[in-house]
Copies of this chain bind each other. A is one copy, B any other.
């Protein structure tokens, strides 16, 4: 197969599906129509101020991408191939409809053989973005009847701005007359993990006299296993490899992958080939320890949410990955990498790719495979009641099968999930919803050995809170200490963005006016979630008291966020194996939020909380259990001391000290030693306390230091 990128695109819009655009501009592909129009019309940066509002009219239009294609002629097959068109479209050749489709996750393919040797005009007409006529407003409900990421319609950290376009590569493909139309790969690992059977299902056109070769090639380029068979229109091949190298999550072993491919042979010549990278791992979702305890009467025990990878139980330390851009065509490999590297470097091992967003491109999964980051992938359903309707279900069926077949060879793909908070009251779906039963079925049919769950939270798990303080004098961390959930798959601590960051995106006259009447509202500082979030002044002042300037308040907010996140992550880890996951909301953001729960600022700039979380997620470390970080005079602060040892290996014995540091003066509260800690264990190794006296300053700190300095931990404390 040869591919030729299509170029010299023109773009325009019209008011109905058959009208020609009144005006066209030069365009490129992949692109979103908003980005093309922005560039060609000199529109202002949508990330700045309230400029994004100037783009929303585009969502109501029919957009037409056009180009000319010279179709080759001969003993060949020519095809137009679109990896992704967002969202509903019709493709025309010389004005005649040749393909209609809906859904950005299934490629569009047009047979060009009728036009061999001719120059043709190709028009791709994209319908206005999905909109539910009966629904009010412009929010996520308009995504409820389509397989379109709901986040684009507006979220508490995303403006209403809905992409549209030819959002991935568009090619002219030229095949020999016999060729591989499609090839799907999967594998089965033996129970003992010592044998893998790799399967290919190939669809071959004009197979007469041809053979198919399935081969598995290791990282040195050596063929590890192969099998050959006569080609048929549908050919199933399988080959077994003894003792395959497995893929392991980060810091648990190598991230080995192989190349797998099918080659079409005619007279021993390779005339066509399709392949992909593949990695082998076994994932099981096991019951948590607390799911073994029964009460009377007997209700359902919590659903399983402990990851076992290649036989090892692993605490899921991670974060919610949200779209890293508003527009899909901007999600390049480089941009993915910048965010993902920071997740890996923060000692995380899992990303929940939340159902409000999209299923990312191949580059995202290639990078996660390489880095050993496990991916919890949700289908594009979130916070809506997706209906039991035939049309919606048929598109969801098509799109989910495309997604599953594409991702199932990526070893990083660890968990399928129907979507976000679908069983909660604001969504209203249940385990009876046909959309969720359909997704379970498609995962079972096409990727049976990867776990599937209908939604998060599921029985036993929890989402929330999203605050440093859960009451006037109570910190969120205290709630987490008192709670018993199997997994925290969303929890957040908000803060404003740094002042100099906000300055880049806020008009100067609004900069010091934190108000719902200006762009502080649009950039989610206020009324994003309730009246006073995400720039929650009262919660910041609960730690630091009133500040003199906005800059100082923001500095305080950034510190409080870091303290809260560190405390909650460590609390969840100390509860292992009752609790098996801590996944904060959220890691990144798609545009500059003036306040948010994220650890990174758009596009990938760490907040102070990022470094605090990185410290809280070290594989092997000391953790001090403090019921709270804010203390009143007269209270006694009790401290329990733990060793967290995530790796499979035993941690050797050592010594440890707890030091209270007040204005440079150190008091040793505890000094002791601890025994060796087995792999995958949490052990309490000591306890101490101090009295909160009147003379303590507003902030002071607690340090845990040991014979292995890499395990040391520091806690900022507040006297209020």
Residues on A close to B: CB < 8 A?
Answer: 284-285, 287, 291-294, 296-301, 303-304, 421, 423-425, 428, 430-432, 434, 437-438, 440-441, 444-445, 448, 451-455, 457-465, 479, 483, 485, 488, 491
- Residues of B with C-beta under 8 A to A292: 425
Q: Report yes or no: B300 in contact with A459, Cβ–Cβ below 8 A.
A: yes
User: How far does the alpha carbon of A463 sit from the alpha carbon of B298 in the complex, in Å?
Assistant: 5
User: How far does the alpha carbon of A301 sit from the alpha carbon of B421 in the complex, in Å?
Assistant: 10
- Residues of B with C-beta under 8 A to A483: 297
From known contacts A430-B287, A444-B438, A448-B434, infer whether A457 and B298 are also in contact, taking CB-CB under 8 Å: yes
Closest to A444 in B: B437
- Residues of B with C-beta under 8 A to A428: 287
- Residues of B with C-beta under 8 A to A284: 432
Q: Report yes or no: B444 in contact with A434, Cβ–Cβ below 8 A.
A: yes
Q: Report yes or no: B297 in contact with A491, Cβ–Cβ below 8 A.
A: yes
Closest to A292 in B: B425
- Residues of B with C-beta under 8 A to A441: 437, 440-441, 444-445
10 A-B residue pairs with CB within 8 Å: A294-B425, A296-B464, A297-B462, A298-B462, A298-B464, A301-B424, A432-B452, A437-B441, A441-B441, A459-B459
Q: Report yes or no: B430 in contact with A285, Cβ–Cβ below 8 A.
A: yes
**Closest Cβ of chain B: how far from A393's Cβ, in Å?**
10
User: How far does the alpha carbon of A453 sit from the alpha carbon of B294 in the complex, in Å?
Assistant: 21
From known contacts A431-B304, A432-B285, A437-B452, infer whether A297 and B485 are also in contact, taking CB-CB under 8 Å: yes
- Residues of B with C-beta under 8 A to A465: 296-297
**Closest Cβ of chain B: how far from A117's Cβ, in Å?**
42
Closest to A428 in B: B287
Closest to A479 in B: B297
- Residues of B with C-beta under 8 A to A463: 297-298
Q: Report yes or no: B294 in contact with A424, Cβ–Cβ below 8 A.
A: yes
Beyond A294-B424, A297-B479, A432-B452, 13 additional pairs, beta carbon < 8 A: A293-B425, A297-B465, A298-B464, A299-B461, A300-B423, A300-B458, A300-B459, A300-B461, A303-B430, A431-B458, A434-B444, A437-B441, A441-B444
Contact of A298 among B301, B421, B430 (CB under 8 A): B421
- Residues of B with C-beta under 8 A to A455: 300
- Residues of B with C-beta under 8 A to A423: 300-301, 303
Most chain B Cβ neighbours within 10 Å, of A285, A301, A438: A301
Most chain B Cβ neighbours within 10 Å, of A303, A430, A464: A430
Closest to A293 in B: B425
From known contacts A292-B425, A300-B458, infer whether A431 and B448 are also in contact, taking CB-CB under 8 Å: no
From known contacts A444-B438, A444-B441, infer whether A457 and B300 are also in contact, taking CB-CB under 8 Å: yes
- Residues of B with C-beta under 8 A to A432: 284-285, 304, 451-453
- Residues of B with C-beta under 8 A to A299: 457, 459-462, 485
- Residues of B with C-beta under 8 A to A464: 296-298
**Closest Cβ of chain B: how far from A676's Cβ, in Å?**
32
User: How far does the alpha carbon of A291 sit from the alpha carbon of B423 in the complex, in Å?
Assistant: 9
Q: Report yes or no: B457 in contact with A431, Cβ–Cβ below 8 A.
A: no
Closest to A443 in B: B437
